[in-house]
Chains A and B, each alone.
Chain A
């Protein structure tokens, strides 16, 4: 029972229950092939949600990650068109995301516009800018090209050695690391979630983030530089979103300027963070919870699809499942605080 009182305890239990359920009702669920199918359903969202957690714990929210996610690969493409190599393109595209995060931070902390409004504006504005830059047309992602090469494969048939030429598809090392490799996104997700979790629970930065989200005035009185903390978290959140955008574009080897899809991506990431046990009000949150929140949403989508649930019902069931998961969270939160006070 002690486990359940952990902030992320309830979502881990709920995720395991859902996974066990699908394993029982569908023998194709618990297979390696399906695990590979599942990865893009949750790994990108886990990274986006981890960035969002960092910001939500500080009491702010970033809705613009949807557009940053779309903007980054197009900037990557543009820089490549100007003749930069892949790694410089990546760095420059991420620098653009950093600037976006900085602008979000300045509007919120210096000018004093609420982060909800600031980043809503940024979501729309940057989405529009992406359409302008891309001329609303999809592009092939540089560095994700598939090359075919011919290799000699030795076969042994009835004791006879035969060498035959076969064609093998390959992607470059850059693509393998940044989204193209089968486990690339999963590894990125695990590293980033682990990093954010360590930041939140074991560093001064995390402590100040919790302090700012829990009691902004008190944090300032204690001498914490509130602005710096919030702005830094805005920047990190934006950087993660940009990275995910590039990973996903490389994985798909092309990117389409689909702004409504980008907004949906943002909503799923925020949902993953909230389902994972991070408070919208700030002061509390967990990156591991966000990972499981994303996994929960991914398993649900993947499992229901495997079950052959009609696509029309999918979002309806997802919505209901999110509400049920949140009810459990709130209930467990009350037990944890032990004060009968709503979390």
Chain B
């Protein structure tokens, strides 16, 4: 297997929501085992892009290649069957369901021949998966509403990492996390990166985190990818400068109008 084998490629993708253009013309690629950091202002289109790649939204135009084959994603379940899974910014956790039911949502284990939920098996596997990541959740049968923001985030990440997915999308996995829990997630990303089995796109706001955890950085501005460099060839200063420039232009536009 070549090290630079592409697992994901997006070409000329656009998406509008009514009058709002979320994505103008996105071109992006992801290599096997790579961690790609995706930066961008609020509203630049990061989450929309994630939701298209995860099969939640359908793009208006553009092409998507998954593991070399052009694909039109029909649904989240379809994307998942191709190995793509996403940890959404809002986590997609169900407060009323228990920790282990959330971990297995839409991937439930059922008994045979009567398809009742195999709660025991799911609980055991959830425990093992959380232990492996290093998340401490005292009881798995409590509703996730009872957990802290960081624990919830960790469960959402564990759910995706524990699946069969080999293309993982992380939409701001460090939001709502304390320093300790954040470090745990970054450790996990580092471990996955070292193993090289899965490829990851991670949205983040902290440049230091991106430079530490990612192989390459893409910047999305106004629905387009405007910057694409390996992390080794850029710096916090350069990234800062781009964003400061963006602010400057925005302010000029406001005062100009």
Contacts and interface: CB of A to CB of B under 8 A. Distances in A.
Contact of A222 (B51, B76, B110): B76
A211 B117 contact: no
B133 to A, nearest CB: 19
B175 interface: no
Given A202-B117, A223-B80, A210 B94 contact: yes
7 contacts: A198-B116, A202-B116, A203-B116, A218-B88, A220-B56, A221-B92, A283-B96
B101 interface: yes
B117 A203 contact: yes
Contacts of A339: 145-146
A221 B56 contact: yes
A32 interface: no
A114 interface: no
Nearest to A57: B96
Interface in B95-126: 95-97, 101, 105-106, 108, 110, 115-117
A219 B88 CA distance: 12
A164 B117 CA distance: 60
Contact of A221 (B90, B101, B145, B146): B90
Contacts, number: 73
Given A215-B95, A222-B76, A338 B88 contact: no
Nearest to A279: B96
A213 B116 contact: no
B93 interface: yes
A224 B54 CA distance: 14
B97 A210 contact: yes
B224 to A, nearest CB: 25
Interface in A193-224: 198, 202-204, 207, 210-211, 213-215, 217-224
A284 interface: yes
B91 A224 contact: no
B141 interface: no
B75 A214 contact: no
Given A204-B110, A283-B96, A284-B96, 19 more contacts: A203-B116, A204-B115, A211-B96, A214-B94, A214-B96, A214-B97, A215-B93, A218-B90, A218-B92, A219-B92, A219-B94, A220-B76, A221-B86, A222-B76, A222-B92, A224-B105, A283-B95, A338-B146, A339-B146
B56 A207 contact: no
A213 B94 CA distance: 9
Nearest to A284: B96
Interface in B41-100: 51, 54, 56, 75-77, 80, 86, 88, 90-97
Interface residues of B, number: 27
Given A223-B106, A337-B145, A210 B96 contact: yes
B94 A218 contact: yes
B91 A218 contact: yes
Nearest to B56: A221
A202 B105 CA distance: 13
Given A207-B117, A339-B146, A222 B95 contact: no
B108 A207 contact: yes
B108 A204 contact: yes
A219 B94 CA distance: 7
A203 B145 CA distance: 21
Contacts of A337: 145-146
A217 B90 contact: yes
Nearest to A224: B106
Contacts of B56: 220-221
Given A204-B108, A207-B101, A218-B90, A213 B96 contact: yes
A223 B77 contact: yes
B160 to A, nearest CB: 11
Contacts of B90: 217-218, 221
B177 to A, nearest CB: 19
A220 B94 CA distance: 11
A218 to B, nearest CB: 4
Nearest to B111: A202
A283 B77 CA distance: 23
Given A221-B56, A223-B80, A339-B146, A211 B116 contact: no
Nearest to B54: A221
A222 B116 contact: no
Nearest to B90: A218
A218 B145 contact: no
A198 B86 CA distance: 31
Contacts of B97: 207, 210-211, 214
Nearest to B105: A222
